[in-house]
A and B are shown apart, each in its own frame.
Chain A
Amino acid sequence: MNPSVASLVPVLGFLSEPVSVAHYLVVGAILFVSGVACMAVKRNALGVLMGIELVLNGANVNFVAFASPYLQAEGGRSLGLDGQLIALFVILLAAAEAAVALAITLNFYNNHATVDVDRADDLKG
């Protein structure tokens, strides 16, 4: 691709480069921000939980990318199995978290007949 075009539109230039850690980080960041936005705007508790999953997986993408030896520049170092282990741990954590969170949601529904998080303001100061 023409460097001048790439200089005009940075994103195009970025897309034209070979896949590196940076690309993964961008995807992870997009996932993370989407998740946060989802948590912030969804009034449905299940929606909020989905946002949490996005945030966790956005982070997981970063760990996996840092762990991969293939994405490193010449002479760079990867996290190796450490990063993959942490990713696995996060998946595990997400599963456990989902179980607890769903239980809370069910109880909340039993008590309030809704899953609207805006109604959950009993802890208001």
Chain B
Amino acid sequence: MDLASQLPSLLGLAWLLPLASFVAILFFGPRMGPHGRNAAWVATAAIVTSLVLSLIAFVGWLGVHPVTAVDHGGHGAAHAADHGDAGHGDSAHAGHDAGHGDHAAAVPIAYSGDWYTLYEGGRLRLSIGWYIDSLTILMFVVVTFIATCIHVYASGYMHDELHDVTDHEVTLSDGHHLHRPGRFPRFFQALSLFCFSMLGIVIAGNLAMVFIFWELVGICSWFLIGFYYERKSASTAANKAFIVNRVGDFGMLIGLMALWGALGTLHFGDSTATGPDGEPVRQAGLFSLFRPAHAGHALRVPDGMVKFAAADAVGRIAADRAANPVEAAGEIAGRTADWRGMGYGNWLLFIAGVGIFCGCVGKSAQFPLFVWLPDAMEGPTPVSALVHSATMVAAGVYLVGRFYPVLSPDVLLVIAYVGAITLFIAATIALVANDIKRVLAYSTVSQLGYMMLALGVGGWVAGLFHLVTHAFFKSLLFLCSGSVIHACHTNDMRKMGGLAKVMPSTAGTMLVGCLAIIGAGIPFVIGLSGYYSKDSILAQALSFSQANPRHAILFYAVAGGAFLTAFYMFRLWFMTFAGEPRDHHVAEHAHESPQVMVMPLLVLAVLAVVAGWTLPGGLGIANLIEQSRPAGTAVTATGGFAFGQTLTFPAEHLSHGEPFHSTATWTAFATALGGVLLAAAMYLWRVVSPAAVAAMFRPVYEFLAHRWYFDEIYHAIFVVPVHGIASVASGIDRGLIDPFINGLAWAARQVAGVDAWIDRTIVDGLVNATANATWSAGLELKKLQTGSLRQYVVFIAAGTVAAFVLASMLFKSSLAV
């Protein structure tokens, strides 16, 4: 099987099928069965086919790249580096490169290439292409799998939209509730477009393509959050999400410009461009520019960035040697190494990395741009599960992981601290939230902080592993919360309680999700998916903290976050499902959800349990991700200039060994157990009254209940000044510009009035006078027409005589013969 040629076709088809579904529903949605009921089938069929194609690609990949247990010794690093040597090849050249590698049997770890070139001129090239490695395929499987579950679930959850809907949250000016037709096809249309966009980010072969689909994901999110757009809160939340994301994307654009301006390429892998004479030219991608094979894949500032940063010196040499350009180029090339040693280009590298990370901060809801995600819960619950927990917000983490080889130690430190701040703030807010979906939303933000922190401390596999496991259990938790909301018709946990009796399936699966997210397991024996991924994050954070004692707080943030996570998740579960019903009105109407909604819960619950397991022989998600490890990142790295200190990033495989592994495992176990016990004490056994605790720590409670006043601060810092400037601008508009325009209009009217008077009086007068004169002449002359025959005879005779007399007087001479 020629994997290189089949992978792009398989995944490309899997990527485009949701687009086809989107187009079909866009044009024919309302005609698909009664009220567009069949649109759900079209969208589901498309995503299921994508899932099947992804699974075929997955199996094909495993056939060529058998997953083996990671060797924790030094050989593993060398092995990965060798793989990197042969990797990053264009599909057409992959075999060729491999043949010339040191190991003839080496198989490329990544395939890249272009489907279509949008623009090509000079060294600049934009294209629609692919970059496929095991991470891409894994993400394809995860995204299409969760999307499939959620499509099925949504076809049940959204059934209200199949007929006319009365929206009780929208009151019209006449006092009635809004009554509108259902929008069932519209929902699945947006869902399909979203899947297409998300898969586009995953498969993208270059950053420009990532950015295109990044924005497409953003607009899909806008559609879906604002699905109930008649509700003020929903439309505001949609706008908030979109605008906050724009802030992050602005940083991303700066990062793109730094790369594009200095290097002229945005391709991840090496690619084949067309040379000046039409012959194919190998063009180095970002990864091989930043980590060249001849330098042992160690991160270094590429020549392009060094020259860009040293533009003054380059210009001086070029001017001095103007007569001999070849010599000048030689000298510049010769001095590039010196310049690099002097630190030229370091800041450019930093800006590029932080810029790209800014985009991820917006999309993955990191501090300080996380405020949009809790509000995004205004969308229907399947949207929250798919878009705002499992996939879209994962895009930022995915991009950091994909872009990891280019991130310098300083950037990684920034990422780690942003992740730490995010995870702590979000976890504390989740402690006191009472809206079931908001607890999960802040939990999502907190877990995304975990992933960022893991990536930032060098835990490349740990972060991405947690991304995958989190996708399963968080979509499960959200779908469970949707099931609860479906049954109770309220989001407020204070009105729930005792639901486990009426909704056993939902309660059971949600318990599995809660256990997975806190990383429950028997230490060193077996655990749920979160047990493995969270432990590896803790271990890497501990390893990093010991290598850099000044940043030990990162480890404490992770450990404290684990405690908070356990507390708020079980607070949620106990408040919802355990004890006695708090609101009998709600409890009476509660019921288990229909089969179509429960099935996805069971499937996801199974995955939330097993996703972290490694089968005998090494097959497991962590080892699969390890296959894609960027070349040169498997070894301990040091560096850093921006913060005045040298940072050490210990190799990740070290964290699997002692003493980190056991310490991390015991820490995770202890914190999780502590959190669960505290939650049980407060909400299950009621030995500690939550109200008493809240009263005791009143200021802290208020602070957290107001979500650290982030919305208020942003309102004061950004919204109010913008409104102020806008009102000044509108004042200028109304007070200055409008009167001026109105004055011009008034003057024009006056001039036109004079014009009209001239027209009516003089021009029209002349024409009318002529007509009047003709008319009156006719009136006079008609009196001659007496109608009397005899008068006419007299007229003729007299006229003849008169004519004769006249002629004889005038022409006397001629008549006088």
Q: Does any Cβ of A come within 8 Å of B793's Cβ?
A: yes
A125 and B788 within 8 A (CB): no
Binding site for A on B (CB under 8 A): 781-790, 793-794, 797
Q: Are B783's CB and A36's CB within 8 A?
A: no
Establish whether residues A121 and B786, one from each chain, have CB atoms under 8 Å apart when the complex forms. Answer: yes
Interface contact A40-B786, CB-CB below 8 Å:
no
Check A48–B789 contact: CB distance below 8 A. Answer: yes
- Contacts of A40 on B, CB cut-off 8 Å? 790, 793-794, 797
Q: Which residues of chain A (1-57) have a CB below 8 Å from chain B?
A: 36, 39-43, 48
Shortest CB-to-CB span from B603 to chain A, Å, is 106
CA distance A106 to B417 in the complex (A): 126
Q: Within the assembled complex, what's the spacing in Å between the Cα atoms of A26 and B351?
A: 131
Q: Shortest CB–CB separation between residue A48 and chain B, in angstroms?
A: 7
Which residues of chain A come closer than 8 Å to B786, judged between CB atoms? 121, 124-125
The answer to whether residues A117 and B782 also contact, given A36-B797, A40-B794, A40-B797 and a CB cut-off of 8 A, is no
Say whether B788 contacts A118, CB under 8 Å. Answer: yes
CA distance A123 to B790 in the complex (A): 13
25 A-B contacts, Cβ less than 8 Å apart?
Answer: A36-B797, A39-B790, A39-B793, A40-B793, A40-B794, A40-B797, A42-B790, A43-B790, A48-B793, A117-B789, A117-B790, A118-B788, A118-B789, A120-B787, A120-B789, A121-B786, A121-B787, A123-B785, A124-B785, A124-B786, A125-B782, A125-B783, A125-B784, A125-B785, A125-B787
Least Cβ–Cβ distance between A51 and chain B, in angstroms: 8
User: Are B790 and A118 in touch, CB under 8 angstroms?
Assistant: yes
Please report the C-alpha to C-alpha distance between residue A125 and residue B783 in the assembled complex, in whole angstroms: 6
A41–B788 Cα distance when bound, in Å, is: 12
B790 touches A41 (CB 8 A): yes
Which residues of chain B are within 8 angstroms of A117 by Cβ–Cβ distance? 788-790
**Once the chains are docked, how many angstroms separate the CA of A40 from the CA of B785?**
16
Bound-complex Cα distance A42 to B794 (A): 12
In the complex, chain A residues whose CB is within 8 Å of the CB of B788: 117-118, 121, 124
Q: Within 8 Å CB of B785, what residues of A?
A: 123-125
Give per-residue flags for A97-125: 1 if the beta carbon is below 8 A from chain B beta carbons, else 0: 00000000000000000000110111111
**Shortest beta-carbon distance, B78 to chain A, in Å?**
125
Smallest CB separation, B512 vs chain A (Å): 113
Docked pose: A42 CA to B789 CA in angstroms: 10
The winner among B786, B787, B797 for most chain A CB atoms within 10 A is: B787
Inter-chain contacts of B790 with A (CB < 8 A): 39-43, 48, 117-118
Chain A residues contacting B794 (CB-CB under 8 Å) are 40
CA–CA, A35 to B784, complex, Å? 24
Residues of B within 8 A of A42 (CB): 790
Binary interface profile of A, 62-90, with partner B (CB < 8 Å = 1, else 0)? 00000000000000000000000000000
Among B785, B786, B793, chain A packs the most CB atoms within 10 A around the CB of B793
* List of B residues within 8 angstroms of A122 by Cβ: 787
Q: Which residue of A lies closest to B781 (CB)?
A: A125
CA distance A122 to B790 in the complex (A): 14
| Chain B residue nearest to A51 in the complex (CB) | B793
Nearest 10 CB-CB pairings of A with B: A125-B785, A124-B787, A121-B787, A125-B782, A117-B789, A39-B793, A40-B793, A123-B787, A40-B794, A36-B797
Most central of A117, A118, A124, A125 by chain B CB within 10 Å: A125
Chain A residues within an 8 Å CB radius of B787:
120-125
- Which residue of chain A lies nearest to B789 when distances are taken between CB atoms in the complex? A117
Q: Which residues of the other chain, B, contact A125 by a CB distance below 8 angstroms?
A: 781-787
Residue of B nearest to A41 (CB): B790
Residue of A nearest to B785 (CB): A125
Query: How many Å from the CB of A8 to the closest CB on chain B?
Result: 26
Q: Which residue of B lies closest to A39 (CB)?
A: B793
Task: Tell me how far the C-beta of A16 lies from the nearest C-beta in chain B, rounded to whole angstroms.
Answer: 25
Which chain A residue has the least Cβ–Cβ distance from B786? A124
Q: Using Cβ atoms and an 8 Å threshold, which residues of chain A touch B782?
A: 125
**C-alpha spacing A39/B783, complex, angstroms:** 22
How far apart are A104's CB and chain B's nearest CB, in angstroms?
11
Q: Within the complex, what minimum Cβ distance (angstroms) separates A37 from chain B?
A: 9
Neighbouring B residues of A124 by C-beta, 8 Å? 785-788
In the assembled complex, the CB of B774 is this many whole angstroms from the nearest CB of chain A, namely 16
Nearest CB of chain B from residue A115's CB, rounded to whole Å: 11
Beyond known contacts A39-B790, A120-B787: 13 more, CB 8 A cutoff: A36-B797, A40-B794, A40-B797, A43-B790, A48-B790, A48-B793, A118-B789, A120-B789, A121-B788, A124-B786, A124-B788, A125-B781, A125-B783
Q: Please name the residue on chain B nearest to A121 by beta carbon.
A: B787
A48 to B788, CA, bound (A): 13
Closest Cβ–Cβ distance, residue B803 to chain A (whole Å): 15
The residue of chain B having its C-beta at the shortest distance from the C-beta of A37 within the complex is B797
Q: Which residues of B contact A36 (CB under 8 A)?
A: 793, 797
CA distance A40 to B793 in the complex (A): 6
Q: How far is the CA of A117 from the CA of B791 in the complex (A)?
A: 10
The complex places the Cα of A2 from the Cα of B786 at a distance, in Å, of 54
Residues of A close to B789: CB separation below 8 A: 48, 117-118, 120
Compute how far the CA of A118 lies from the CA of B786 in the bound complex, rounded to whole angstroms: 10
**Beta-carbon nearest neighbor of B795 in chain A:** A40
**A123 nearest CB neighbor, chain B only:** B787
A92 to chain B, nearest CB (A): 23
Residues of A within 8 A of B797 (CB): 36, 40
User: In the bound complex, what is the Cα–Cα distance between A40 and B787 (angstroms)?
Assistant: 14
A120 to B789, CA, bound (A): 7
In the complex, residue of chain B having the shortest beta-carbon distance to the beta carbon of A38? B793
Which residue of A has the minimal Cβ distance to B794? A40
Question: What is the distance, in angstroms, from B805's C-beta to the closest C-beta of chain A?
Answer: 16
B236 to chain A, nearest CB (A): 85
Residue from B783, B788, B789 whose CB has the most chain A CB atoms within 10 Å: B789
